[in-house]
A and B are shown apart, each in its own frame.
Chain A
Amino acid sequence: MDNILEVENLDIDLDGEKILENLSFKVKQGEILTILGPNGAGKSVLLKALLGFLPHKGVIRWSQKPKIGYLPQGLNQLRAKDLPLTVQDFFSLKNILPTNKEIEKYLSLVGLKGGILFKKAGSLSGGQFQRMLVAWVLISHPDVIFFDEPTTGIDIGGGETIYSLLHNIWEKENLTIFLVTHDLSIVYKHSTNVLCLSRKGHYCFGAPKETLNQKTLKQIFGTEIKLYEHH
């Protein structure tokens, strides 16, 4: 498989502060790359740079122009609550208008009932809203998906469901997934490679089992992390 993305010597400064320095990694098509690191290490910044939203130095090379789906972090309901949008309206904001049938199909994929289609998006619970967003991203059939902490606000069982759902779709559709998460068990279970970022500029990159151990985790998070491997 070819590399879908090559990043070489990436530097990102925001407001004069170095966020990322001399970062290099490669992603092959069909891989799941998990980006790991403490708050403030630059995970979301990296995603935004890869999406082309941020100025940077160094090389970000996509092999072809991918069709990207993006679920940003903390896109909670607060903003959406103010807007008079039903769930159906929310899907109608997309470039390609999905039919109600398609929307219902994707809603049921993420474990939501079709009946919420005409409910106000702002009246959904936090977890329901997040699931709706996952469906919102998936419905456009992207080749590459950026998920920035997709299970925020979803209960434990629900989080598992979303991840196994993503895993299923990933297996079927040859998707490339970039996933930011704090959940170490997800890293072992679902990712091809892991990229860790730390505030001090320690990076690690590779397959999770070879890359992650007590020492690297301590370097990244600055504290002892208990490691439970899932095989």
Chain B
Amino acid sequence: MLYQLFLTLISGIFIGGVAGYLGTLMLSKKMSVVAGPLAHLALPGVALALICGFSISLGAFPFVILGAILIWILEKKTKLPMENLSAIIFASGVGIALLILPIGEAEEALVGNITKITLPETLITVLLSLAVFCVVKKIYKKMMLMSVYEDLATVEGVNISLYNLLYLLSIAVVVALGVYLVGGLITAALIAIPSASAKNVSKGLLSYKISAVIFGITSAVIGIVIARFTQFPTGPLVIITNVVLFLISIIFRRKSLDID
């Protein structure tokens, strides 16, 4: 049992950390809500997997990645905000799936179950999290410059289209991983909330990134540990821990503003 708790904590720490880190970039680009729709996009894949009897992760990944690529192509063609395009992709994905697939059964993909994670799954989680972390670290500053003003990034020689693709794929991998392991709802919370708490307490870029990662990891660990010793499910506890940390961060925000 202790071994299982160990695996759960390891994957929780990595997913929580990388989701918090990626979330800081998404908040700066006003895309925090995008993880939710993308997670729902996994539903048709999960339903397909249930019908055909193959692994749920094999169903979830292609659909979420495909969704991210479609958003990327549509953004290039239409220049609409990515956040808006995610809503369109999400709606069409779920709409089509509802017509042909038993999507109701796939709903459990939204809550997931990290407490039954196996060793290979933990290893894959760690590797994918590290890969996404490296990609995000690589594109971070230029993505930030693009949020300030896209033309400034172009003058600095940034290949905007490539950076956007890497960015969207990073989101897709974290979301797909999250859907499979901890459920889509929790992934969305792990992306959106730590960055908001971090923004409240930090003044500069470095403390923003570091505190988001710490908030992400802390909430995952506290949620998992409390779940282990109570009757409550892990996912909701992780979310609630996140919300509590966010509320505490508001108090600290007030204080730091007074000092300014």
Contacts and interface: CB of A to CB of B under 8 A. Distances in A.
Interface of A: 48, 51, 53, 68-70, 72, 75, 79-80, 82-86, 88-90, 92-95, 118, 120, 123
Contact of B204 (A70, A80, A89, A93): A89
Nearest to A123: B260
A79 B147 contact: yes
Contacts of B205: 84-86, 89, 92
Nearest to B147: A83
B156 A95 contact: yes
Given A51-B155, A53-B154, A83 B144 contact: yes
A75 B147 CA distance: 12
A51 B147 contact: no
Interface of B: 28, 30, 141-142, 144-145, 147-149, 151-152, 154-157, 198-199, 202-206, 208, 260
Given A48-B151, A120-B203, A84 B141 contact: no
A4 B152 CA distance: 22
Given A84-B203, A118-B204, A92 B148 contact: no
B46 to A, nearest CB: 35
Given A85-B204, A86-B204, A93 B141 contact: yes
Contacts of A75: 148-149, 152
Nearest to B145: A93
A84 B204 contact: yes
Those 3 A-B pairs whose CB atoms lie nearest each other, nearest first: A89-B205, A86-B204, A84-B208
Interface SS of A by simple majority: mixed
Given A86-B204, A86-B205, A94 B147 contact: no
Contacts of A123: 260
Contacts of B156: 94-95
B151 A51 contact: yes
Contacts, number: 63
Given A93-B141, A95-B156, A120-B203, A83 B148 contact: yes
A70 B28 CA distance: 22
Contacts of A83: 28, 144, 147-148
Contacts of B199: 84
B154 A84 contact: no
Given A48-B151, A69-B155, 4 more contacts: A86-B203, A90-B148, A94-B156, A118-B203
B144 A79 contact: no
29 contacts: A51-B155, A53-B151, A53-B154, A68-B155, A70-B151, A70-B152, A75-B152, A80-B148, A82-B28, A83-B28, A83-B147, A84-B198, A84-B204, A84-B205, A85-B148, A85-B204, A85-B205, A86-B203, A88-B204, A89-B204, A89-B205, A89-B206, A92-B141, A93-B141, A93-B144, A93-B148, A94-B156, A120-B203, A120-B260
A72 B204 contact: no
A44 to B, nearest CB: 10
A89 B144 CA distance: 10
Contacts of B208: 84
Residue among B30, B152, B202, B208 with most chain A CB within 10 A:
B152
A84 B202 contact: yes
A185 B87 CA distance: 51
Contacts of B260: 120, 123
A72 B151 contact: yes
Contacts of B157: 95
B155 A93 contact: no
Nearest to B198: A84
Contacts of B145: 93
A15 to B, nearest CB: 12
Contacts of A120: 203-204, 260
Nearest to A96: B156
Contacts of B149: 72, 75, 79
B40 to A, nearest CB: 27
Residue among A53, A89, A93, A123 with most chain B CB within 10 A:
A93
Contacts of B202: 84
B230 to A, nearest CB: 35
Contacts of B152: 70, 72, 75
